[in-house]
Every structure is written in structure tokens, then in C-alpha cells.
A = this chain, B = another copy of it.
Amino acid sequence: MNSPTSSTDTTPAHPAWLPSSAFAAVGRRRVAVRGDGALVGTIAAEVAGATAAHGGSFTRLDPGSGVGDADLVLTLTEDDDAPGPDDGGSACDAEDESFRLLRDDGAVVVQSASDRGLLYGFFHVVRLGEAAFTGPDAVETHAPATPLRMLDHWDNVAVHDVMGQVERGYSGGSIFYADGEVRADLSRVEEYARLLASTGINRVAINNVNVHAREARLLTDGLPDVARIAAAFRPWGIRVHLAVSFAAPMTLGGLPTADPLDAGVARWWRDAADRVWARIPDFGGFVVKADSEGQPGPFAYGRDHADGANLLAAAVEPHDGLIHWRAFVYDHRQDWRDRSTDRARAAHDNFAPLDGRFADNVIVQVKHGPMDFQVREPISPVLAALPRTRVALELQVTQEYTGQQKHAVYLGRAWSEILRFDFLAGAATPPVPEPGTTTSSDIPPGPTTVAGLVANSGGLVAVSNAGDDEFWTGHPFAQANLYAYGRLCWDPAADPVGLLGEWIAMTFPGAAPGVAGAIHEILDDSWETYELYTAPLGVGFMVRPGHHYGPDVDGYEYTPWGTYHFADRDGIGVDRTVATGTGFAGLYPSPWREIYESAETCPDELLLFFHHVPYTHVLHSGKTVIQHIYDTHFEGVERVERFVATWSEARSSLPADAARLAARVTDRLTEQLRSATDWRDQLNTYFLRKSGVPDTHGRTIH
């Protein structure tokens, strides 16, 4: 199971960023691997494969033996308690994931105290390619910023009526499930585990947080199948987590209650946890979405989220398990007529009072923004509101609101900006890049940044964008998001455009130089491009209800979902000030509360999130709001037109074996252009009809 196997589909899965050619620099060399432990076997198999393919040689050394004249040595440090040879099942126990890289005149040694660290070191060398051997002499230590680097899958076992096989999935079916069962052939899971391990991901939750009847049973009679999935991930240092239903003691256990303070309920959960760990000793823990969007939770019993989370925490504590408890809790039956209720406040209002009450092994998992993964939101104030609670940052790799992997949108820069947001030192926060520029920094995010707050706390979690699609992610370029997420978990200070460059270099190792340039041209600023042609100035949504693809300005305006823009003939935006609005701005520490409170100091890109202003309001950019709407929507489409032209030119430089990928990208860009045009025309028409203000440039608005 250590070597990747191809899918049983007729078209083999695309190798993503790990094609054989990406291993050429290592594979050409004399490589020695030394040490025991399950993951050392994984590394050895990788090296054996690479050297066989590229003409190098591979030696497996016994512990304690000399390294000879190898060009590259991958070795467990021998003065440490590395996992012994008979300890294969628990390779993940070692918490030290760091590695050292020593380069001396082209000879490279990678050392780690743990087999996981050694695996990460191996992929580090692969990523460096020739530079690993030709760079200046060095001694470097690499360690992840956080030990918790996780992906959540919203995969359903049974196809859900509305949400399908994968909730918010835009990459075909599930790699885990098909036909209502866990797949018999898990070879795609093994390939996926390898891809994730190469970026540094070490935990995966394998089922949807909306736990339906079939999925709930993974916890009980589905355990043998979960164990098979865990076995597919294990050689890559990845632990498996399950999303569970808070009502499981009733629905699965037949108890009359799921009250978290009921002794029978506590016993049921303890027994359930004992059974899981007995079967899967390196199991990670449970993920829970409770009392949100119809999921059951502790509220039914007059208990709060701390009661609920601590119930489960006690059950998994003997096994060093974790509870990821989502903070995505709000009133989804809001009355749009009532402007005092604010969904943006909900997570804060629900969780801030509970700070200090959660058990040590509970992680409160907080979406990056207060709403729901919009292309632009302020940073959730909850991330800074729970100093005595372990908090994880939740991102969304799957592009629910950002083009659904039909649009080329590289999110690495968005996530980088989120991670660098400094709650206390507002002025020091890197400014939002102007369209056309790129973020680039190697300054580690400070302790009061988002990255700093979660690093030694709950780490990072994101919703995966991978499925059984030939290219894993629908849009081949969406692979870059999966890659960048993993790399940013390891190093939140990494330059996101640099990470994109890594992905390009590994994924297209044989392509002409112009290809990399073209992909950068398309993706570097694609996040802002998407923002340009969709909802303006941070107001969010304006998508088709339900599936969330394509424009519908009023789609959610008169619904119970709490996602409004309040546009009328005079102006637009949500007043979230303390002075006259919902008070959301006051949930931030200074200086942000003051910055957001005033329309004069609020950043343009969040203006309509915090303020209701006239269309004639003049932005810092010097434009009126209405002219900004027109200009950005025209510009967004023009940019996508350039994407199409750029790719059309570049794809001719791709090798023949990339023809299917090239065609897929072309198809998706065609759809992106159609959709962006739709966004432009609907948004501009909507606001022209409503405001009556003509475009100063006299362009066509219908």
C-alpha cells in the first residue's frame, strides 16, 4: 500500500503535483534511506520508484550503519526514540515532525527524529528539485507552524437528495464512497494520501459534518470500513477523524435522550469511542456541527455548546482524541424584516461567553469570516475572542462561493492575508494588495495574527476540494488551492505566489517556460478578479440560492438566511456599526473596532459589509460606489477575456500528454467567461435600474 496505485477508472487519475518527472532530481542520484518505522518504508518505496525511473540508485541502510557515498541521505536521528520496527501501526505518535536539511557541496542529508518528519523532509527535497543539490551549503531546520493540519471532507456515503455525493463538491464523486457504501477499491484514497502528505497535511475527517442516517453508522457497524480508510492514510502519516451526529446515542444507541449531562449518554459515547480506538489505534477524533442549520445539539436539553463538546471530549480523552466543535452556529430562520438580528454576530454571541469552559481536547473550529466563506469578508472576531479556548481556523478549499472549480480562482493569497491579519496591530497588517500586485513576505506572522493565535492552539482546518474527478479537483488549476492550503498549514508565512510557483513547477515539469508565466498571469490575481465581477465591496452573496453558483442579486435578500445587502434606490450595504447598526464592529479589539466603525476609515473592500452608504459615497479610491460597481464588473470580465487569450496561447506549448488537461482548462475558462459576463450584466443592470446613475464611460448596461 506504500506505492501509489492507479484508479480502476479507464482514464487514470492525473498525478497532480507528483508526476514521476517531479522526482527526476532525486531519482537521478544515489540515495540512501536509513532507519526503521512504517513511514520510512513509505519513503524507501518512493525512493526506489524514483531511482528506478530516473537512473539513480537506492540503498536501504540498517540503523547504525554508515551512509557511504550517497548524494542524498534520508535518515532517522539515531539518538532519539524513533518508532521501532514492530511499531508500524502507530507511526503518528511521534509529535515531532521537524527535520533538518544539511547540504555540503552537493551532498544532502535529511535528518529527523520521527519517520513523519523524515517523510516531510523527503518531499521538501523533491520540491527543491535540482536546487536541493546545487544550492549553497546550508544547515536548515524545518518545522511546521502547527501540529494540527487538517482537511475535512463533506462527503456523503449515500447520495443526498439535495447535496449529492459530496456536499459542495465540484470534483465528481467521492474518493471514499460510491453506491451508498465505502468503496472496495481505495487506491484513489492512497494516491490522495500521498498528495496530501507531500504538502504536510496530517489529519483528514472523512465524512460530511451534516451527518445523515447512513453516515452516522460509520461510527458503529461501518467501523471496519473506516479502518480500511485509516489504513490507506496511515503510511502517509495521516490520521482519520469522523464527523458524528450529536443525536447518535438516540439514533444509533436507542437511548431516549442525547442530553450531554445524562450519565447513560456519556457512557454511550465512551463505549463508542472505546470501540473506535480499539479498531483504529491512531484514530484522530470527532468533528461535530451541532445546533446549526438543523443539526441536533445540546440546545434541545437546555445545555450549551461547552456542555455538548465536553461530553464528547471526555469520551475521547483516554485515547488522546480530539473534538473539533464547529462555531458555525446562527439563526437560519431569521426574519429579513428585522434589521437588528445579525448573522455575523452569531458565532461570537454563542461562543464568547463560553470561553474557558471547554475541555483541553476540544477545538472550536471557526470559519475565517463571520458569514460563510465569501470571496471577501472581515476576519471573524471569534478567532480573538476565546483566549482560554483552543481555536482552529477553518478555510474552504472547495470553491463553494468562489466559482465552484469552474472559475480559475487561486485562493492562496486570500488565505495568506487571513493568516497575517493582526488583531491588535491594525496598522502593521499588510495592506490589501492592489489588483495587479502580489503579496510577498517572509516575515512570520506575529502572535496576535490569526496564524499566531491558532498555531499552538487548534491549528488549521479546511474543507477539501478533491473528488474522483480525473484531475482531482474539476478545474485542474484548483489543485493549486489544495496544494497551497497544505503548505500554508506548515508555513503560514510562505509567500502564496511562491507556493503557486511550486505547484506549477512540480505539476508541469516538462513545460516550456512560457507555460508557467501564463499560469501565473491567470492565477496570481485571480482572487481579486473573481471579486471584481461578483458581489461588490464586501457585501457578499448575491448568488443563486441553494447551489450558490452564478448571480442573483436579490436571491437571498428576502430569505431567512441572514445574508442581505439592503440595496434600495439610494444606497446599499449593511450597517454593522455600534453607533447605528447591529454593533458587530464593536466585537473587534482596537484598533479594528474604530477602523471598521467609521465609513471614513473602513477599508474600501469591506465598506458595504460594515456600512449602508449612498451610491454616491466616494471611496478611498476616489470613485463613487456606483461607478466602482460598474468599473469593477467591466474590468473583471476584461481580465477573464485575457485569461482565455493567455491560455489559448500557452496551451500550444504544453506536451502532448497534457492535452486532456489543456482541454479541460479551456472548457472551464470558457464557462468562466460566460459566467463572469452574466455577473457583470446582471449586477450592472440591477444597479443601474435601481440607482438610475449612468456609467460615466457610457458602456452598455442592459
Inter-chain contact A692/B569, CB cutoff 8 Å: yes
Q: Mark A328-344, 1 if CB is under 8 A from B, else 0.
A: 00000000110000000
From residue 530 to 585 of chain A, which have CB atoms closer than 8 A to chain B? Answer: 551-555, 558, 567-570
From residue 657 to 702 of chain A, which have CB atoms closer than 8 A to chain B? Answer: 678, 681-682, 685-686, 688-692, 702
Inter-chain contact B681/A337, CB cutoff 8 Å: yes
A11 to B139, CA, bound (A): 81
Contacts of A685 in B (CB 8 A): 337, 558
Inter-chain contact A690/B568, CB cutoff 8 Å: yes
Shortest beta-carbon distance, A567 to chain B, in Å?
A: 7
Assuming the contacts A552-B558, A554-B552, asked whether A568 and B702 have C-beta atoms less than 8 A apart, the reply is: no
Inter-chain contact A567/B689, CB cutoff 8 Å: yes
Contacts of A570 in B (CB 8 A): 692
From residue 234 to 264 of chain A, which have CB atoms closer than 8 A to chain B? Answer: none
Contacts of A336 in B (CB 8 A): 702
Instruction: Name the residue of chain B whose CB is nearest to the CB of A566.
Output: B689
Complex partner residue of A702 from B337, B681, B688, CB under 8 angstroms = B337
Shortest beta-carbon distance, A546 to chain B, in Å?
A: 8
Instruction: Name the residue of chain B whose CB is nearest to the CB of A683.
Output: B558
Instruction: Name the residue of chain B whose CB is nearest to the CB of A337.
Output: B702
Contacts of A555 in B (CB 8 A): 552
A336 to B685, CA, bound (A): 11
Shortest beta-carbon distance, A580 to chain B, in Å?
A: 17
Contacts of A569 in B (CB 8 A): 569, 689-692
A690 to B554, CA, bound (A): 12
Complex partner residue of A692 from B553, B558, B568, B688, CB under 8 angstroms = B568
Contacts of A553 in B (CB 8 A): 554
A554 to B551, CA, bound (A): 11
Instruction: Name the residue of chain B whose CB is nearest to the CB of A550.
Output: B558
Shortest beta-carbon distance, A367 to chain B, in Å?
A: 27
Give the oligomeric copy count. Answer: 2
Contacts of A552 in B (CB 8 A): 554-555, 558
A567 to B690, CA, bound (A): 9
Shortest beta-carbon distance, A163 to chain B, in Å?
A: 13
For chain A, the bracket of interface size reads: 20 to 34
A670 to B460, CA, bound (A): 47
A685 to B559, CA, bound (A): 13
A553 to B682, CA, bound (A): 15
Shortest beta-carbon distance, A545 to chain B, in Å?
A: 8
Shortest beta-carbon distance, A554 to chain B, in Å?
A: 4
A570 to B691, CA, bound (A): 10
Shortest beta-carbon distance, A606 to chain B, in Å?
A: 23
Instruction: Name the residue of chain B whose CB is nearest to the CB of A682.
Output: B558
Contacts of A690 in B (CB 8 A): 568-569, 689-690
A554 to B678, CA, bound (A): 15
Shortest beta-carbon distance, A232 to chain B, in Å?
A: 32
A581 to B678, CA, bound (A): 24
Instruction: Name the residue of chain B whose CB is nearest to the CB of A558.
Output: B682
A337 to B685, CA, bound (A): 9
A681 to B559, CA, bound (A): 12
A555 to B544, CA, bound (A): 9
A546 to B283, CA, bound (A): 43
A558 to B688, CA, bound (A): 14
Assuming the contacts A337-B681, A681-B337, asked whether A558 and B551 have C-beta atoms less than 8 A apart, the reply is: yes
Shortest beta-carbon distance, A447 to chain B, in Å?
A: 45
Shortest beta-carbon distance, A492 to chain B, in Å?
A: 40
Instruction: Name the residue of chain B whose CB is nearest to the CB of A701.
Output: B337
Inter-chain contact A689/B337, CB cutoff 8 Å: no
Inter-chain contact B551/A689, CB cutoff 8 Å: no
Shortest beta-carbon distance, A676 to chain B, in Å?
A: 14
Residue from A554, A555, A678 with most neighbouring chain B CB atoms (10 Å): A554
Shortest beta-carbon distance, A43 to chain B, in Å?
A: 47
Instruction: Name the residue of chain B whose CB is nearest to the CB of A570.
Output: B692
Instruction: Name the residue of chain B whose CB is nearest to the CB of A692.
Output: B569
A337 to B681, CA, bound (A): 8
A420 to B136, CA, bound (A): 94
Q: Mark A274-300, 1 if CB is under 8 A from B, else 0.
A: 000000000000000000000000000
A552 to B556, CA, bound (A): 9
Contacts of A551 in B (CB 8 A): 558
Inter-chain contact B568/A689, CB cutoff 8 Å: yes
A568 to B688, CA, bound (A): 8
A682 to B688, CA, bound (A): 21
Instruction: Name the residue of chain B whose CB is nearest to the CB of A688.
Output: B568
Contacts of A689 in B (CB 8 A): 567-569, 690
Shortest beta-carbon distance, A671 to chain B, in Å?
A: 15
A554 to B690, CA, bound (A): 12
Contacts of A686 in B (CB 8 A): 554, 558
Contacts of A691 in B (CB 8 A): 569
Residue from A336, A569, A692, A702 with most neighbouring chain B CB atoms (10 Å): A569
Shortest beta-carbon distance, A615 to chain B, in Å?
A: 11
Q: Mark A85-99, 1 if CB is under 8 A from B, else 0.
A: 000000000000000
Known contacts A552-B558, A554-B554, A569-B569; 9 additional CB pairs below 8 A are A336-B702, A337-B702, A554-B686, A558-B678, A558-B681, A558-B686, A569-B690, A569-B692, A689-B690
Q: Which residues of A pack against B, CB within 8 Å? A: 336-337, 551-555, 558, 567-570, 678, 681-682, 685-686, 688-692, 702
A-B contact pairs, 11 of them (CB 8 A): A558-B678, A558-B681, A558-B682, A567-B689, A568-B689, A568-B692, A569-B569, A569-B689, A569-B692, A570-B692, A690-B690
User: Which 3 residue pairs spanning A and B have beta carbons closest together?
Assistant: A568-B689, A337-B702, A554-B554
